[in-house]
């Protein structure tokens, strides 16, 4: 099978318009004859389910939590980008497009990113109309701020909880459709398989997490909006239930996986305290506007920060990047923090942290000014660590945050399985090798509100879809396979808990496929994961039974998939013999230790085809063509 990106012809700025015109339409009267499954209720899932229902389709919407409003989009802090140019500072659709392509280190499709930039404008209008309480200026108009190193103010925000407010907007639209019966919500359900009939996606099998029953649901198309896979690393800023299972099981059914090694590691998170830690908390990167990052000059210097004199401190970002200083992009900041800790200059009990010091800013602007800007972040830090950042420098460390990789999709957001679509973080499409701040929310909502309603209609209108119901043998077979796996996990009764395996997997991936990678450690990671996976199926202990709310069992299935998926990530990292964005292979770097791309050989998307649990996946490549921007080398000196 060849990869057809289906990018429409024509000039960049006309592609989406032309494509919308070319897409076939479903007659409004016929829409109610179609059942659509949407898995996930985050920004992408909730907006897609609500919008499809508004058009008249019958939607079944599934989520893993007790309510659609819990999806992890809710935790996004910073904001959402839109090329409104309200600030009159030179922003435009073109600039947002260019910044996103460049920020992604030229590993995303021009056409997709341009469409995203175009739609960004509509998103804000839509959200305002829904009642999203964005920050406003005294004149009553929307306020913007600059974010993530952008040179223009294009980020719309709602204090530090933009994600929650946007999600509540989408959720309220979803609830409206649930009330009028167009959407049926299935909470506390976990998708465990995609069901194909005659080569097309025609349904899913979910586990009811309360009763343990397996439920089959048929449909004319399946839309996956199940988020990212950062929890493969065990510790990440993702929610506890974020997982790769739904996407991975689609991969096993023939959907190619795009760029699995592209994982964004955010530089400013609260560091790990101990082995019991369950998750990491992000501190907004806006802190780097005023905080100075430093470590002790001498390796192994364990004195408390106030006892280390100015002469004993190394402000390494300011030293190495005099023009950008503490404001270098996420990937650069993360790599440097790790480098310092590897030299035994890390601080705190674990030695895996660097200081982010506000003493100079407080001395310069006064405590009040700093509290005004960062008060809520400082409080959050104090709540978690018990330390007062006004007095003691913050300790921060990078953490896994977002995954640019995901199911490979074409311009219509359809995967390589006909009738299976992937939206939001679950697909690979728009961020290339590195995502810019405040762009994830934008992509999720663009996909859900403004892209899938058109492209899904185009698919339904053009496909011949005989009636299939959930009693078809394909569903029975799928249920049987899931039941076998569940029974197997429950019967092993070994010595190690699921969490214990997950932690081991996380340690392998973090150490060997993390901020900086090289071929040798990646090969080691492959062997280590394979070994761990074998042990899992011999020695895991899953208590309880299948016909009950059983959180250990839920996790066991997720961790089993994370292990197989971990091998795929590593495989992808090995095959990409260049450095780009978040993927930093130490063998490929410039003289200044920056990521060195190889556009000659790797200006492509890697898409992986599943062949079996113990055989190598097939590597497909979708070449990327840059007709509108010039490929350049990033520099932050």
Contacts with another protein in 55-94 (CB under 8 A)? 65-72, 74-75, 84, 86
Distance from C-alpha of 235 to C-alpha of 109, rounded to nearest angstrom = 30
Question: Segment 418-457, which members bind another protein (CB under 8 A)?
Answer: 449-450, 453
Q: Which is nearer to another protein, 386 or 612 (CB)?
A: 386
Q: Which of 8, 15, 47, 314 binds another protein (CB under 8 A)?
A: 47
Q: Which is nearer to another protein, 166 or 407 (CB)?
A: 166
* Residue window 477-506: x/- pattern of binding to another protein, with contact defined by CB under 8 A: --------------------x-xx------
CB 62 within 8 A of CB 191: yes
Minimum Å gap between C-beta 519 and another protein is 35
Distance from C-alpha of 209 to C-alpha of 546, rounded to nearest angstrom = 10
* Residue window 7-46: x/- pattern of binding to another protein, with contact defined by CB under 8 A: ----------------------------------------
Distance from C-alpha of 35 to C-alpha of 54, rounded to nearest angstrom = 13
Distance from CA of residue 357 to its chain's centroid?
29
* Residue window 518-557: x/- pattern of binding to another protein, with contact defined by CB under 8 A: -----------------------x-xx---xx-xx-----
Buried b / exposed e along 56-92 (16+ C-beta atoms within 10 A) = bbbbbbbbbbeebbbbbbbbbbbbbbbbbbbeeeebe
Question: Segment 598-627, which members bind another protein (CB under 8 A)?
Answer: none
Query: Would you call 330 a catalytic residue per the annotation?
Result: yes
Q: If binding is defined by CB under 8 A, does position 267 make contact with another protein?
A: no
Q: Which is nearer to another protein, 483 or 541 (CB)?
A: 541
Kind of pairing, strands 420-422 and 496-497?
Answer: unpaired
Please tell me what DSSP assigns to residue 275.
T
Q: Which is nearer to another protein, 7 or 492 (CB)?
A: 492
Minimum Å gap between C-beta 84 and another protein is 7
Nearest to 546 by CA among 242, 244, 207, 241: 207
Question: Segment 314-333, which members bind another protein (CB under 8 A)?
Answer: none
**How many residues can be counted in the chain?**
637
Q: Which of 81, 100, 126, 326 binds another protein (CB under 8 A)?
A: 126
Minimum Å gap between C-beta 299 and another protein is 22
CB 590 within 8 A of CB 279: no
Q: Which of 29, 129, 363, 591 binds another protein (CB under 8 A)?
A: 129
- Which one of 115, 330, 533, 597 is the catalytic residue? 330
Distance from C-alpha of 127 to C-alpha of 581, rounded to nearest angstrom = 31
Minimum Å gap between C-beta 583 and another protein is 27
Distance from C-alpha of 337 to C-alpha of 173, rounded to nearest angstrom = 42
Of 170-178, 402-410, 588-596, 598-606, the window that binds another protein (rule: CB under 8 A) is 170-178
Token pair recorded at residue 44: 């992408």
- The backbone torsions φ and ψ at residue 223, rounded to the nearest 5 degrees and listed phi first, read -115, 120
Minimum Å gap between C-beta 401 and another protein is 12
CB 505 within 8 A of CB 532: yes
How many residues touch another protein under the rule CB under 8 A: the total is 84
Question: Segment 208-227, which members bind another protein (CB under 8 A)?
Answer: 210
Q: Which helix (H) or strand (E) holds 401?
A: strand 394-403
**Which residues are CB-neighbours of 538 under 8 A, at least 6 positions away?**
492, 494
CA distances from 462 to 24, 392, 415 (A): 7, 63, 16
DSSP string computed for 354-398: EEEE-HHHHHHH-HHHHHHHHHHHHHHHHHHH---TTTS-EEEEE
Q: Which is nearer to another protein, 84 or 207 (CB)?
A: 84
Minimum Å gap between C-beta 51 and another protein is 4
Q: Which is nearer to another protein, 282 or 603 (CB)?
A: 282
Q: If binding is defined by CB under 8 A, does position 507 make contact with another protein?
A: no
Q: If binding is defined by CB under 8 A, does position 118 make contact with another protein?
A: no
Token pair recorded at residue 239: 């929610």
Q: Which of 23, 87, 98, 122 binds another protein (CB under 8 A)?
A: 122
Give catalytic residue positions. Answer: 330
């Amino acid at each position: 099978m060849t990869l057809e990106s289906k990018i429409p012809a024509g000039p960049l700025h006309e592609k989406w318009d032309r494509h919308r015109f070319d897409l076939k339409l479903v007659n409004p009267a016929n829409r109610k004859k179609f059942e659509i499954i949407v898995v996930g209720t985050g920004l992408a899932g909730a907006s897609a389910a609500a919008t499809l229902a508004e058009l008249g389709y019958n939607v079944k919407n599934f989520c893993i939590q007790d309510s659609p409003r819990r999806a992890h989009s809710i935790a996004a802090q910073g904001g959402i980008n839109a090329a409104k140019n309200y600030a009159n500072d030179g922003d435009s659709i073109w600039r947002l497009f260019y910044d996103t392509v460049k920020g992604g280190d030229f590993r995303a499709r021009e056409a997709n990113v341009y469409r995203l930039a175009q739609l960004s404008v509509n998103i804000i209008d839509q959200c305002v109309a829904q009642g999203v309480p964005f920050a406003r200026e005294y004149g009553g108009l929307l306020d913007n701020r600059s974010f993530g190193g952008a040179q223009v103010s294009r980020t719309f925000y709602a204090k530090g909880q933009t994600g929650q407010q946007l999600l509540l907007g989408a959720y309220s639209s979803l609830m409206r459709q649930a009330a009028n019966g167009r959407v049926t919500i299935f909470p506390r359900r976990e998708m465990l398989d995609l069901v194909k009939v005659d080569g097309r996606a025609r349904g899913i099998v979910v586990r009811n997490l309360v009763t343990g029953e397996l439920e089959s649901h048929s449909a004319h198309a399946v839309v996956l909006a199940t988020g990212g896979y950062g929890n493969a690393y065990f510790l990440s800023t993702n929610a506890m239930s974020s997982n790769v299972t739904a996407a991975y099981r689609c991969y096993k059914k023939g959907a190619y996986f795009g760029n699995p090694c592209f994982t964004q590691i955010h530089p400013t998170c609260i560091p790990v305290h101990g082995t019991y830690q369950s998750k990491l908390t992000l501190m907004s990167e806006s802190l780097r506007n005023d905080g100075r990052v430093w470590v002790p000059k001498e390796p192994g210097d364990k004195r408390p920060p106030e006892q280390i004199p100015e002469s004993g401190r190394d402000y390494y970002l300011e030293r190495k990047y005099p023009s950008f200083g503490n404001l270098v992009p996420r990937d650069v900041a993360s790599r440097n923090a790790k480098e310092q800790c590897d030299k035994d200059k890390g601080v705190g009990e674990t030695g895996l942290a660097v200081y982010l010091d506000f003493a100079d800013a407080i001395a310069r602007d006064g405590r009040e000014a700093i509290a005004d800007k960062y008060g809520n972040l400082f409080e959050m830090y104090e709540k978690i660590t018990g330390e007062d950042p006004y007095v003691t420098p913050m300790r921060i460390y990078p953490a896994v945050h977002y995954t640019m990789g995901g199911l490979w999709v074409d311009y219509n957001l359809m995967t390589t399985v006909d009738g299976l679509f992937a939206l939001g973080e679950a697909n690979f499409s728009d961020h290339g090798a590195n995502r810019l701040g405040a762009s994830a929310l934008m992509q999720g909502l663009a996909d859900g509100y403004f892209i899938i309603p058109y492209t899904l209609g185009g698919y339904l209108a053009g496909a011949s879809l005989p009636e299939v119901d959930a009693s078809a043998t394909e569903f029975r077979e799928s249920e049987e396979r899931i039941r076998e796996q569940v029974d197997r996990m429950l019967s092993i009764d070994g010595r190690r808990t699921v969490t214990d395996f997950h932690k081991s997997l996380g340690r392998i991936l973090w150490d060997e496929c993390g901020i900086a990678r090289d071929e040798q450690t990646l090969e080691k990671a492959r062997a280590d994961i394979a070994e761990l996976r074998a042990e899992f199926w011999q020695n895991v202990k899953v208590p309880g039974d299948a016909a009950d709310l059983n959180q250990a069992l839920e996790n066991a299935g997720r961790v089993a998939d994370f292990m197989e998926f971990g091998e795929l990530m590593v495989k992808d990292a090995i095959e990409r013999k260049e450095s780009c964005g978040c993927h930093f292979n130490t063998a490929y770097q410039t003289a200044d230790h920056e990521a060195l791309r190889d556009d000659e050989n790797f200006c492509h998307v890697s898409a992986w085809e599943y062949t079996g649990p113990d055989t190598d996946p097939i590597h497909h490549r979708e070449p990327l063509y840059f007709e509108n921007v010039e490929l350049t080398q990033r520099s932050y000196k």
